[in-house]
Amino acid sequence: MTKTAKKHPLTLPFIIGVVLGIIAKLVDVPYITSELPVFDDIMGRFGIWVWAAALISVRSKTAHLAAARSFLFFAGMLTAYYSYTVIFLNFFPKSQIILWGGIGMATPLCGFLFWQVHKENYYTDFISSIPFILFFTEWYLTVFTAWNWNAKDKLLLLIAYICFSISLLAVIPTNRKRLFSLIYGVLLSIALTGLILAEVIVNPYELLLNV
């Protein structure tokens, strides 16, 4: 960790969450993202938040600190995002607040589990692959099931998810774990996408985003 992160192990994730929450709300305004609507799609989906929480978790010194920092990051993000919505837009999205509040309450467990990638157990290879499963599945389902996406936006979203993947791989310990994380992520995302497209299971991304 950097010196700043060591001095402020709990306040820094909260501040980062607040900043990203405000940015996410600002890019939700049509006239701001009229030229590049992909920014709204990046901030409005799960990938960027899972990426940020995973980075915070794996860069924490202990599993318990990872749990606390993950929770504070989401607490800051959700507080800023919905405070802006209620105060400045006079809108109270009850169902979305309940949904994301529930997700936020689960983040300590997610942070605790993802920190386990530091351990040399084979089950942690699967844990470390979970963000990549989400990245690849969400990207494919987003760009190939939406009728109004142009080639530029598809490419920009792909670049964003590639950047998420590379930066997360860089902080995962050991080359072996990086390799297996990526392999499992690709294979399981293909399987999951196939099941969703075959309508064997519902599309969780579409379901949750339409709450």
pLDDT tier for residue 2 given thresholds of 50, 70 and 90: low
- The three-class DSSP label of residue 54 is helix
Q: Is the pLDDT of residue 107 over 70?
A: yes
pLDDT in tens, 114-130: 999 999 888 899 999 99
In the chain, the largest separation of any two C-alpha atoms, in whole Å, equals 50
Rounded to an integer, what distance in angstroms lies between the CA atom of residue 85 and that of residue 39? 18
Q: Encoding tokens for residue 190? A: 């293909």
Distances (CA, A) of 67 to 64, 71, 76, 139, 198: 5, 6, 14, 27, 36
- 10 Å CB burial of residue 91 (0-12, 13-18, 19+) is exposed
- Which pTM was predicted? 0.87
Q: Encoding tokens for residue 125? A: 């290879």
pLDDT in tens, 136-193: 998 888 887 766 777 888 888 889 999 999 999 999 998 999 999 999 999 999 999 9
What is the residue-averaged pLDDT of the chain?
87
